[in-house]
Every structure is written in structure tokens, then in C-alpha cells.
Amino acid sequence: MPTDHTSALLYLTTADLLKRAPHMQDFFGSIGLSLPAAHISTADYFAALDAETLEDLGIERQSLTERFTAFLELLEALKTGADGSRIESITIRGGARQERQAGGIRSDYQAW
């Protein structure tokens, strides 16, 4: 169930939203949409999508908003550990290339 806080985030500009939740760009990419322009709110972006685009995505406008707020709530729960599953950090280490050479990649992510 969306909270007032997550519903309010729908009306932030993309620039402001990304400052608060930088991983929101993953939401748009995962459903096949480009990131809204920096000065547009997510609510306005969803409202401006034409019926053909929504049909191509296989989603209704209301469902799109519900998925967005559910994604926000999941991020918040992971961030705060509200559901007992707080993520403190993630480390990704590169494996071996096909030629059996070390990949040499390492990425560390800390809790935001």
C-alpha cells in the first residue's frame, strides 16, 4: 500500500527524485522506458505516455504507477531494514575471462 511519502515522490522532478533515490533509473530501464527529462515529474511522465506505448509495454497506466510506488517502497525497506533485510554492502568481484585470464573487476557498494 503506497504511503504518503512514496506517493509524494511521484511529483518530484526526475532530478530531485534521483538525488533521493539514485537507483530509480533502474525501474525505468527494467520496464523498457527511458528516464524522464530532469525537469519532469514521474506523474507527468506517466500521464504523457500514449496508449500505444502502454500497450507495447503490456501495462495499464494505473498499474505503472502502482509498480513505481511498490519499487520505491521496496528500496526504502531495504535501505532502512524495515523488513529485517537491511543490506549494508555488496561486493562484486570479476571472474575469469573465457581465455582464463583474471577479469580484474571489483566494485564495492555501500548502503545509501
Query: Mean pLDDT per 10-residue run, the chain (112 residues)?
Result: 69 92 86 93 95 92 90 78 63 60 55 52
Domain definitions of the chain by residue range: 4-86
pLDDT of residue 21: 83
What is the spatial distance between Cα 4 and Cα 43, in angstroms, rounded to a whole number? 14
pLDDT at 40: 96
Predicted local confidence at residue 75, as pLDDT: 78
Contact (Cβ atoms closer than 8 angstroms) between residue 105 and residue 93: yes
Greatest CA separation for the chain: 53
pTM as predicted = 0.66
- The SS3 call for residue 19 is helix
pLDDT value for 1: 40
What single DSSP character describes residue 73? H
Other CB atoms within a 10 A radius of the CB of residue 87 amount to 12
